Every structure is written in structure tokens, then in C-alpha cells.
Amino acid sequence: MREAIARLKRHPAAPLAGTAIVALALLALPFALAAAGTTWVRVANLAFLFVLLSLGLNIVVGFAGLLDLGYIAFYAVGAYVYALLASPHFGIHWPFWAILPIGAAVAALFGILIGAPTLKLRGDYLAIVTLGFGEIVRIFLNNLSRPVNITNGPQGIARIDPFRLGGIDFSKSDSFLGLAFSGPIKYYYLLLLVLLAVIFVCLRLQNSRIGRAWEAIREDEVAARAMGIDTTRLKLLAFAMGASFGGVAGGMFSAIQGFVSPESFVLVESIMVVSMVVLGGMGNVWGVILGALLLSFLPEFLRFTVEPAQRQLFGRTLIEPEVIRMLIFGFALVLVMALRPGGLWPSAVRKRELAERDGAMAGKLR
Amino acid sequence: MSALLEARNVSKRFGGIEALSDVSFSISRGQIFGLIGPNGAGKTTLFNLLTGLAPPDRGSFALDGRALAGLKPDRVAARGIGRTFQNIRLFANLSALENVMIGRHVRTRAGVLGAVLRDPATRAEEAGIERRAADLLDYVGIRSRANEAAGSLPYGDQRRLEIARALATDPVLLALDEPAAGMNASETAALRGLLERIRGDGTTVFLIEHDMRLVMNVCDRVLVLDYGRRIAEGAPAEVQRDAKVVEAYLGTPDKDGPG
């Protein structure tokens, strides 16, 4: 059996066949999920949004090595740009394909804005400042309702336009080729498309002159500068690129939910995205995707199993699912960090780094 | 011969310590110019000022007649000064080849758009970067280690890799901070060959070194610093006979006692 699999793997058509299987699975997935309940399609969509966020943060944290704990601010910026330009709040209703690039650009601008004053900071200090920045953005959104009502404060902005393309409205069901395409399913395909584009961009960036320069900065900033790398420009570029992905994700979130409020962009969300990147494997695009999917689906899965399981065992709910969820979640994170410090699927570079550190420690012990 | 590098009255204080005071010298094109002096004489400080890591308090450098004042390290590298570090600063977790490829950054152009689209020009540039990096590994004699992590290479090879990475920036002046430190006799001999070859290929070398045999054998001129002051300059043989140099290295019996 094992030999047969090995032989299959060696077949010249194996990569192509593998890709085809994954593609088919991804295309069929929303219908399988819809069969279990439309909620699960929504969960998948939210998971995709988090994958987008994690990939964006990975550029800042994983590629350039700059710890950003306020990343959710860029998601908020993208979400509010979309909400303001496509809702009755200002009576503006621009099409999504015009707003998403604007959202990405505004988020990138914010990325540069936070990047510029923090360029000299490293590690912990950078983390603290970015954390503060994330909170500032949220507090602004909360309070920019007076004297001029821009964000509508804590009430948030409602009745945001869904995506519309030609005659297709992403909030309504359509049938096509005899299949029922509900709103969430349509968003699923759109998100999948955006996601593929972002993955493509990430992989190409990583394997380029720019990606190498980021790696150099992460490894040794002084040496990078002495080799002629303009660290100021490249760090700002990392912040801007990462932020723009967050902005796109935010715009899509806004349209999917139809409602945004500052509550969606609290610190815990930033920490969640950082956890996804770290758990999956900083710097490795595939690892980060895995981390984001796991941490998005796991809590939902627990939500649907913990309560029924307790009912079965004890006849009533002893512990709220939310509490157990966080408990298991935290435990899983600690476990992974203890057993696989490079993440579930670490990048080759990170693997080397850890091996070297262990080697050095073993050397000291000897 | 025209001067490639001119240093005029360079001074630097750290707190109460005068790390460099009024140091002037000039390096001619095509030389191997040695910089020696006891520990703490200010040699590495001079390199750091030259490469823009810190600004001098007074004085200035000029490369090819153009002032380097106020330039950031990356601009200095772009102007044509490549350097290595006394305490090796490789990108330890990246492969040897990647280290040298990063050195090509300053001489190449591809941006985000090129990286994503991979147009023919970008692809050609990338291929050129990789070819040049491989050639440079060959040049310093560690081609076979191209895919190993820089940090896991033997010490001597790490020093060579740093030289290859600095050469990748196409320097007109290569500043080497103790390249022979930690090398055994045969490695040092090979290093001497490499330095002579680099000079032969038209790159001027500015060399900080403690290995006196290497300095005396390979340098065209030598500058001696002691406590941040220039105490001698000349051909190696002259410098060796200079009373002040002997005193700086060995001390005088009545001042420091025996030994």
C-alpha cells in the first residue's frame, strides 16, 4: 500500500492531479457545508477572511520580522471605508470594485502612518506601540460621531450594500445550472478568488529581491543596511503591503455582514490573528493558512459539540461553551508552542533558527 | 596615483573617551591599505564612521572626491563601500547563496510589481543575481557550501562568505574588519591569496587586521592607530621599525613594567 502511494507520488502527473483534487474539493465544499447548514458556509467565509488577515500580517511579522499587535486596525479601516462609501449613512453607494482598492490604499496609508514613527523600535517596544495604535483606531471609530457624525459611534453603520456585479446580487439566492447559489455561497467563491490572488502575491513576494531584503532585515538589520538595503523604505513597504491586505479583508467583511461597529475590532481580534500566524508557522504561507483555518474552525466546531456533549453526559449545561472554548483554545496554543515552537508548519528558515538555538543550548549544557 | 578615499581630521567621542581624534589619511586606488593598532585603538570605530553607522563628531570622508557626510549606511554601500564585520554578521539562518544574493540588492532594481508579475526583465535580473552570487561563492572558494545555512558553516568559511557578500555590492573599496580572526595558518595563507586576487581585479582593500604577518606581507601601506590617534603611516617595513609603533604594541619597560 505504502509503496503504491509512493509510486503514485512519483508519477509525472501527480502534482497536476493533486492540484485538481484540491481545486474540486474547494469548489464543492460550500455545497457540502450548505447541506450541514448555511451557518457553516458563513463560518467558512469568516475563516477565509481570517486567512486573508493572517497572510497580510505574515508579511509584517513573518517576512520582515516586525511584531504588530494592532493589525486589526487595518481591517477596521478597510471595513469602515467600505461602510461609509456604500451605505445610506452618507447616502453614497459606490460599487465594491471601486471601493475595495480605495480601502486597500487607505489601509496602506495607515500602515505607513503607524510604520513611520516606529521604525527605530524593535521587538517588544514595537509591539507595545502597535498595540496602542490598534486601540486608538478603535476609540476614534467609537467617538467620531460628534461634532460631525462620521462613524456613527458605538451604534455602528448598518444596511451596508452587499456586493453587486452586473445583475448578480451577493445577498440574494440565484440558481444557476440547476444549483441554488445562496448569498454566502457566492461570497465563498469570491473570497476564494481573492484568497488565491493574495496567496499568489505572497509566494511571489517571498521569492524575490524584495522578499530577500525583508529576510535580511529580520535576520540582522545592521548587516542589511551595510549591504545597501534601505531598511526604512522596506519596512514601510512591509507595513503598507500587510495593511492593504487587511483593508481588502475589512471591505469584504463589511459587505458580508452588512453592518460594522467598533466592537468587531477589539484587541482580542488582533491577538487572534497573531496567534494564527504564530501557531501556523511564521513566514510560511501554507503554515499561516493552516493556522488561520484551524483557529477559525476549531472554536465553531467546539461551540457545536461542547454543549450537546454536556447535555448528554449531565443532562444540563454545566459550563458555558464559551468558557470551555477559551480553555481548550489556550491549552492547544500552549501545547503547540511547547512541542512545536516553530508552529505547526514552520518555514525552512525558522526551522533552522530553532535547530541552531537548541544546538547552542545543548552545547552550553555539555 | 589618485586618492580613492580621503579622511580628514576625523574625530569621535563616546562619553568621556576620545575614540578617534583628528585622524587623516588617504588611500590610493588599487592598494591594500592596512589599519592596525592595539585593541581599543579605534579601528572598528573608524570603519563604522566610514560606512555611515555613526556620524563623526568632526571631520569627513570623501570617496573619489565626493563627500560621504551624512549618508546613511545603505547610501554609502550604494556609493561603493562594501564591508565585513569583526564579529561576523551573516544572515545566519539563510543559505550561503542567499546571503550573497542579498548583497546584490543594491545593484538591482526589481520592485513589488516586478516581483509579482515576474516579467522577462525581472526574471533576467533574478537569474543574473543568482549566477553572480554563485560565481562569487566560487571566487572565495566555498561554492560547494552554497545551500548550507550560513550560521552552520565553519568559522573560516563564514569569514569568506562575508567577503563574498560584500563583493556582491560591487564595491570600489572593500573594508574588511579582521578577516583572519579565528583562521588557522593554512586558511590565513589562502586568505592572503584571495586579498591579492581582489586587488588584482581592481578593488581597493581597506584592511583591519591583527595578524601581523598577513599585514606585513599583503599591505601596500599601513596606518597605525593608538588610543584614537594616528601614530604612524607608511610602507609595512617602515612602520615595523617605527619606535612609536613598537612602544604602542609592546609598551615601554619604565611605563608599563616588564611584559
Instruction: Give residue-wise pLDDT tens across range A261-274.
Output: 999 999 989 989 99
Cβ separation B105–A201 shorter than 8 A:
no
The domain boundary, picked from B165, B195, B215, lies at B165
Rounded average pLDDT over A201-214: 96
Chain A contact present for B227, CB below 8 A: no
**DSSP category for residue A163:** P
**Can you name the residues that pair with B222 across neighbouring β-strands?**
B34, B234
pLDDT of residue B257: 46
Q: Specify the residue for cell string 557578500.
A: B165
Cβ separation A225–B72 shorter than 8 A:
yes
Q: Specify the residue for cell string 537569474.
A: B127
A275 within domain boundaries: no
B21 has a pLDDT exceeding 50 = yes
A365 has a pLDDT exceeding 70 = no
A44 within domain boundaries: yes
Cβ separation B73–A213 shorter than 8 A:
no
Query: pLDDT tens digits for B96-143?
Result: 999 999 999 999 999 999 999 999 999 999 999 999 999 999 999 999
Domain that holds residue A85: 22-265
Q: Give me the number of domains chain A comprises.
A: 1
Same domain, B179 and B254: yes
Same domain, B139 and B259: no
Percent of chain A with pLDDT over 90: 54
B173 has a pLDDT exceeding 60 = yes
Quickly state the pLDDT bin for A356 (edges 50, 70, 90): low
Same domain, B178 and B258: yes
Cα separation, B239 vs B210, whole angstroms: 14
Contacts of A356 in chain B (CB under 8 A): 92-93, 149, 151-152
B87 within domain boundaries: no
B143 within domain boundaries: yes
pLDDT of residue A192: 96
Rounded to 5 degrees, φ, ψ at B26 are -140, 145
A358 has a pLDDT exceeding 70 = no
Residue type, A16: L
C-alpha closest to that of A219 among B141, B88, B119, B240 = B88
pLDDT of residue B224: 95
B142 Cα to chain A: minimum distance (Å)? 20
**Can you name the residues that pair with B204 across neighbouring β-strands?**
B173
Q: Give me the number of domains chain B comprises.
A: 2
A361 has a pLDDT exceeding 90 = no
B232 within domain boundaries: no
Percent of chain B with pLDDT over 70: 97
**DSSP category for residue A161:** P
Q: Which three cell numbers stand for residue B153?
A: 558553516
Rounded average pLDDT over A241-246: 97
Contacting residues for B178 by C-beta, under 8 A, at least 6 apart: B86, B208, B209, B210
Q: Which three cell numbers stand for residue B118?
A: 515576474
Domain that holds residue B190: 1-80+171-226+239-259
Contacts of A222 in chain B (CB under 8 A): 53, 73, 89
Contacts of A200 in chain B (CB under 8 A): 116
pLDDT of residue B26: 96
The domain boundary, picked from B165, B186, B216, lies at B165
A30 has a pLDDT exceeding 80 = yes
Query: pLDDT tens digits for A100-128?
Result: 999 999 999 999 998 898 888 877 889 99
Quickly state the pLDDT bin for A366 (edges 50, 70, 90): very low
Residue type, A66: L
A343 within domain boundaries: no
B188 within domain boundaries: yes
Cα separation, B91 vs A346, whole angstroms: 18
A218 has a pLDDT exceeding 60 = yes
Average pLDDT, chain B: 93
Same domain, B151 and B175: no
Same domain, B73 and B180: yes
| SS3 at position B23 | strand
Q: Specify the residue for cell string 570622508.
A: B61
Same domain, B176 and B256: yes
- Least-confidence region, from A152-161, A164-173, B145-154, B160-169: A164-173
A33 within domain boundaries: yes
Rounded average pLDDT over A288-311: 85
C-alpha closest to that of A59 among A252, A211, A250, A272 = A211
**What is the four-CA torsion angle of B104, B110, B116, B118, rounded to 10 degrees?**
-90
Does A147 sit behind a cis peptide bond, omega within 30 degrees of 0 on the bond before it? yes
Rounded average pLDDT over B6-20: 94
Average pLDDT, chain A: 88
Cα separation, A107 vs A72, whole angstroms: 11
Same domain, B75 and B191: yes
Element (H, E) at A306: helix A285-314
pLDDT of residue A130: 92
A298 has a pLDDT exceeding 90 = no
Rounded average pLDDT over B198-209: 96
pLDDT of residue A359: 59
pTM: 0.91
Mutation for testing the B interface, residue in A196, A202, A209, A354 having most B CBs under 10 Å: A209
Percent of chain A with pLDDT over 70: 96
User: How distant is the alpha carbon of residue B163 from its chain centre?
Assistant: 8
Contacting residues for B107 by C-beta, under 8 A, at least 6 apart: A228, B168, B169, B170
A62 has a pLDDT exceeding 90 = yes
Same domain, B102 and B180: no
The domain boundary, picked from B165, B194, B210, lies at B165
User: How distant is the alpha carbon of residue A83 from its chain centre?
Assistant: 20
Contacts of B112 in chain A (CB under 8 A): 205, 210, 237, 241
- ipTM of model: 0.93
Burial class (CB in 10 A: 0-12, 13-18, 19+), A9: exposed
Rg, Å, chain B Cα set? 19
CB A290 within 8 A of CB A142: no
A340 within domain boundaries: no
B residues 179..208 contacting A (CB < 8 A): none
- Least-confidence region, from A240-244, A279-283, A332-336, B138-142: A332-336
Query: pLDDT tens digits for B22-80?
Result: 999 999 999 999 999 998 899 999 999 999 999 999 999 999 999 998 999 999 999 99
A334 within domain boundaries: no
B213 within domain boundaries: yes
pLDDT of residue A357: 63
Quickly state the pLDDT bin for A312 (edges 50, 70, 90): confident
A151 within domain boundaries: yes
Mutation for testing the B interface, residue in A203, A212, A227, A232 having most B CBs under 10 Å: A227
Rounded average pLDDT over A173-193: 84
B100 within domain boundaries: yes
Burial class (CB in 10 A: 0-12, 13-18, 19+), B56: buried
Rounded (5°) CA angle A223-A225-A227: 70
Same domain, B146 and B175: no
